[in-house]
Structure formats: C-alpha cells, structure tokens
Amino acid sequence: MSTITTARPSTHLNEQTLREMFWVMLLSRRLDERSWALHRQGKIAFHISGMGHEAAQVGSAFALNRGVDYTHPYYRDLALSLAMGLTPTDFMLSLFGKAGEPSSGARQMPSHFGSKRLNIVSGSAPVATQVPQAAGLAFAIKYKQTTGLVDPNDATQPRVALTSLGEGATSQGEWHEGMNWAGVHKLPFICLVQNNIYAISVPIESQMAVANVADRATAYGVTGVVVDGNDLLAVYDVMVEAVERAYAGEGATLVEAKTYRPVPHSSDDDDRSYRSRAEVEEWKQKDPINRFRDYLIAETILSPAQLDDYEHRARAEVDQAQAAAEATPDPAPEAALGDIYAPSEAV
C-alpha cells in the first residue's frame, strides 16, 4: 500500500480551483436529482445515478490532464464526465435518446458516457469490460512513447488511461485480466474502484473474502491505495500520486475509493428490500458535497451568497439542458444503421 509521502498536492490548489471542484460536484448532483424526477414523471425510461460518488469522481478527474488523458468510465461517472468536459445538455440528450447524443448517437442506454472529442471512451453494458480495454489504451500510450511516435513529455498527448468500476465488478474475469496486463507491462494505467459496498442487492461480504479491493494490487504488481471516497481532497491527493507515477513510467495504480450510493441502484431498483433505512441515513450524514461545502465555507473560500449563486446557476443550467434536449428531435430511424465515430466510407 502506498501512502502520501510528500506534502499533500491539494494544499497547492488555488481557491478558484477548489470552487470549480465544488461547482462540478453540485452541478452533477442537481442534474442527477432532475433525472430521477424526469423518470418518475414518465418522461425518460431509465436513470442510473452517480449520487454520493461525486467526490471520488471529481477528485480523480482534476488530477488528470483533462480533455487530453483518456478516461474509460462506468455508468455512475456523471460527475467525472462533467469534469472532463461533457455538458449537461449532452447528458440530457442521452436520457431522452435524442439526435446528436455524443456517446453513441442515442443507441446506448443513458450513462454510457463517451466523447471522442474529450477522450472519453464509451463502455459496454457488461460490467468490467472497460478494464482490459483501458489497459489496452494504456499499452498503446506506452507503445507510442517507447517507439518514439510521440514525446513522452508532450502534454498535448494522452499520458495515462483511467478506468473506473464498482467493487462488485471486480469479481469479473475481465478485471483480473486487465489488472494483470497493466502490472506485467508497467502501464500508465489507473483503475479507480468506487466501492459503495453493494452490487445492486449483493453486499460486499458476499463478493470478496478480503477487507479491501486494493489488497489485491500486490498480486498484480501494481500499487494499491485505499482512500475515503467521500473526501474530495484526499481522493485528489492519491490520484495526483497515481498520475505522476504513470507519467514517470513507474506503472499502474489501483485506487479504491470507499463510498456509498444513497439512492437505489437504478430507477428500476427498490433498495428497501436489501438494506435498512438507518444505514442509508447514516451515510447521508457523510454526504461528500455537504462535507466539502462546509469546508469551503469554514475556510471562507465560499461565501453563503456565492453558494446561493451556485445553486441558482446549477438549476438554470439543468433547466436549460432539459429544455434543449426536449426540443431536439429523435434520431431518424435509418440513423440506427450508421456508424458512431466515423462514416462508413472513412473506415
């Protein structure tokens, strides 16, 4: 296990960046809440939420070279994808399945985030399939650098691939294969496990016989770190170390962010059948956004008036995104036969 050895990188973040991190978390939460409401109003067919995971995701994203490094997210990564540059309208287009949706041209379920422009690679629905794919991306990054195709220090080139998944998905064979590959080839690769202690209704004790997912890192020859996933700056600190390790050619990192999902698994789940309300309430007290908000206010980095302004702006952005998506036409039926990233003639 690695620990932070140098001064915490987050102590160097300026106030504007701290506020920006808060803003992305808040925007993600408000967008997510609206998505649940739209589902209950019968306006959209499905929603799967990132609520509760925002600190793990935004802390990770801000440690990357955003828009340049690769991310290969999973369905909870709304806040991560927004931090990488996806817009609320992009997300709303996916919820409504409208034309111009950037991940898949509205073919995929919502929350299968993807953007060629932002180097966000869209995943498949079977969990953990993104892990060997992201390890392959990391292999390509290293191959290009070591064969002189790109300069390893060129900040305009991707230098790390980050993927994320839940703790339950680490039971899949793909996860082990991807981790092993990353270890063998000492790849510029980060695997972020967002451990919310449930895989739908299956609790972690039924999923694994070790205390931490990151305990397995040694077996793959990668660095393993456990972090409080509800502590934004703690996540940022371990991620900066992981990114620097990757950039320096020192290999892969498995970061396990311990967190919780305070809402059902998806719009089709009823979590009352497998966990107590008392447990959910206890975790809500540790909400990552409230925690960071209280910190910013206590440190006078954010004033109550600024907070109000952020809330108004977040609501306005969500309103605008929803209106834009609702006003957008459905894709033409024949568009389902076309390709996603490039027209057929160009392939």
How far, in Å, CA of 85 to CA of 67, rounded? 7
Residues 6+ apart with CB under 8 A from 31: 78, 82, 88, 91, 92, 317, 318, 321
Residues 6+ apart with CB under 8 A from 32: 47, 49, 50, 51, 78
- Between 199 and 252, whose beta carbon lies closer to Mg ion? 199
- Between 167 and 231, whose beta carbon lies closer to ligand TPP? 167
CB of 162 to ligand TPP, least distance (A): 16
CB of 42 to Mg ion, least distance (A): 28
Does the annotation count 236 as an active-site position? no
Partner touching 200 among Mg ion, ligand TPP, none, CB below 5 to 8 Å by kind = ligand TPP
At residue 35, what are phi and psi to the nearest 5 degrees?
Answer: -65, -40
CB of 262 to Mg ion, least distance (A): 13
Query: What residue ranges bind Mg ion (CB under 5 A)?
Result: 166-168, 196, 199
Query: What residue ranges bind ligand TPP (CB under 6 A)?
Result: 76, 125-127, 165-169, 172, 194, 196, 198-200, 265
Does the annotation count 12 as an active-site position? no
Residue nearest to Mg ion (CB): 166
Opening angle at CA 14, ends 12 and 15, nearest 5: 140
Residue nearest to ligand TPP (CB): 166
- Between 67 and 173, whose beta carbon lies closer to ligand TPP? 173
Does the annotation count 265 as an active-site position? yes
How far, in Å, CA of 62 to CA of 42, rounded? 35
- Between 145 and 196, whose beta carbon lies closer to ligand TPP? 196
State which amino acid sits at residue 280: V
Partner touching 76 among ligand TPP, Mg ion, none, CB below 5 to 8 Å by kind = ligand TPP
* Contact status, residue 18 vs residue 296, Cβ threshold 8 Å: yes
- C-alpha neighbours within 13 Å on the C-beta side of residue 342: 4
CB of 261 to Mg ion, least distance (A): 7
Active site residues per annotation? 261, 265, 274
